[in-house]
Amino acid sequence: MDCNTHDTDVFNLVISGVGGQGVLTLAEVLSRAALSENHNVRVGEIHGMAQRGGHVVCTVRMGPDAYGPIVDAGTAHLIVGFEPVETLREVELVRPDGYIIMNQHIQHPVAVSMGKADYPPIDEIISSLRKFANHIFDFNAMSLAESAGNPQSMNMVMFGAIIGSGLVSISKETALATVAASFPGRFEEINTRAFESGYAATSVLKW
């Protein structure tokens, strides 16, 4: 594996979001790309009440030592958050030297929409995340997806950000080929643009 945080032959990645954001699709596309490069991959899914905007989390473990899908607390090399509060929900999984890539776009939970709870300020969320990890990149992936042509392509913006970050040992060429194979027809162009915008956002990072 090609990650400067590795000390074992496994890379632990956690994807956190809510139902309808494409978390499961991203995990599937990422796994297909990894398999295309002959990585050993294990994927786990937790999605309760997903169709009602409930919490969805996927774990992707890659490498010779990936024997199961469970990522223990403090062992995730990378957390990919589709939504700020949902990122915070899983932050205890990240390693102290781990990384977080987070979409800034807020999707209010039902309790907030009903006026029964307040959504925390984004600065407080990021401050809380920094108690667990120093390497945090937050950006408006939703805005990039809209610019690509469809807000539902936000998951491919995040895929591009993952590959562009250089933390996961999957080539850009393999990732783009997997996007094309996963979204044939008229959706290929939109999702490819979304991927490229996410890739551009992180490929210039100096972690």
How far apart CA 196 and CA 157 sit, in angstroms, is 7
What backbone torsions phi and psi does residue 2 show, to the nearest 5 degrees?
-120, 75
CB-count burial class (<10 Å; 0-12, 13-18, 19+) for 77 = buried
CB atoms under 10 Å from CB of 172, counted, come to 14
pTM, two decimal places? 0.92
Q: Say how far apart CA 193 and CA 63 lie, in whole Å.
A: 29
Strand residue runs (E) in the chain: 11-18, 41-47, 55-62, 76-81, 94-103, 135-139
Average pLDDT, 10 consecutive residues per value, the chain (207 residues) = 58 95 96 97 80 84 95 97 97 97 92 88 96 96 98 98 97 98 94 98 92
So what's the pLDDT on residue 15? 98
User: Is 65 in contact with 10 (CB distance < 8 Å)?
Assistant: yes
Cα separation, 30 vs 43, whole angstroms: 10
Q: What are phi and psi of 41, to 5 degrees?
A: -130, 140
Structure tokens at 33: 């790309």
Locate 18 and state its tokens.
């809510």
